[in-house]
Chains A and B, each alone.
Chain A
Amino acid sequence: SQQGEEDPQALSIQEGENATMNCSYKTSINNLQWYRQNSGRGLVHLILIRSNEREKHSGRLRVTLDTSKKSSSLLITASRAADTASYFCATGTGNQFYFGTGTSLTVIP
Chain B
Amino acid sequence: GAGVSQSPSNKVTEKGKDVELRCDPISGHTALYWYRQSLGQGLEFLIYFQGNSAPDKSGLPSDRFSAERTGGSVSTLTIQRTQQEDSAVYLCASSLDTGSTPLHFGNGTRLTVT
Number of B residues, CB within 8 Å of A: 23
Chain B minimum-CB-distance residue to A45: B102
Q: Please tell me if the beta carbons of B41 and A101 are within 8 angstroms of each other in the complex.
A: yes
Interface set, chain A 9-46, CB cutoff 8 A to B: 30-31, 33, 35, 40-45
Please indicate the chain A residues that have their CB under 8 angstroms from the CB of B98 in the complex: 94-95
Q: Please tell me if the beta carbons of B103 and A100 are within 8 angstroms of each other in the complex.
A: no
Please indicate the chain B residues that have their CB under 8 angstroms from the CB of A42 in the complex: 4, 91, 93, 105-108
Number of A residues, CB within 8 Å of B: 26
Chain A minimum-CB-distance residue to B108: A42
Q: Please tell me if the beta carbons of A3 and B102 are within 8 angstroms of each other in the complex.
A: no
Q: Please tell me if the beta carbons of A101 and B42 are within 8 angstroms of each other in the complex.
A: yes
Q: Please tell me if the beta carbons of A95 and B4 are within 8 angstroms of each other in the complex.
A: no
Distance from B57 Cβ to chain A, minimum over Cβ atoms (Å): 13
Interface residues, chain A, with chain B CB atoms under 8 Å away? 3, 30-31, 33, 35, 40-45, 48, 50, 88, 90, 92-102
Q: Could you write out 16 A-B pairs with CB less than 8 Å apart?
A: A30-B99, A31-B99, A42-B106, A43-B103, A43-B105, A44-B105, A45-B102, A45-B104, A48-B102, A95-B31, A95-B56, A95-B98, A95-B99, A96-B45, A101-B41, A101-B42
